[in-house]
Amino acid sequence: DTGVSQDPRHKITKRGQNVTFRCDPISEHNRLYWYRQTLGQGPEFLTYFQNEAQLEKSRLLSDRFSAERPKGSFSTLEIQRTEQGDSAMYLCASSLRGVEQYFGPGTRLTVT
Partner 1 sequence: SQQGEEDPQALSIQEGENATMNCSYKTSINNLQWYRQNSGRGLVHLILIRSNEREKHSGRLRVTLDTSKKSSSLLITASRAADTASYFCATDSLNTNAGKSTFGDGTTLTVKP
C-alpha of 34 from chain center: 4
Give min distance, CB of 16 to partner 1, in A: 26
| Total binding residues toward partner 1, as defined by CB under 8 A | 28
Contact between 53 and partner 1 (CB under 8 A)?
no
The CA-atom distances, in angstroms, between 22 and each of 25, 34, 48, 68 are 10, 11, 14, 10
The correct pick among 7, 13, 20, 44 for binding partner 1 (CB under 8 A) is: 44
Euclidean distance between CA atoms 59 and 37, whole angstroms: 15
Of 11-19, 59-67, 72-80, 88-96, which part binds partner 1 (CB under 8 A)? 88-96
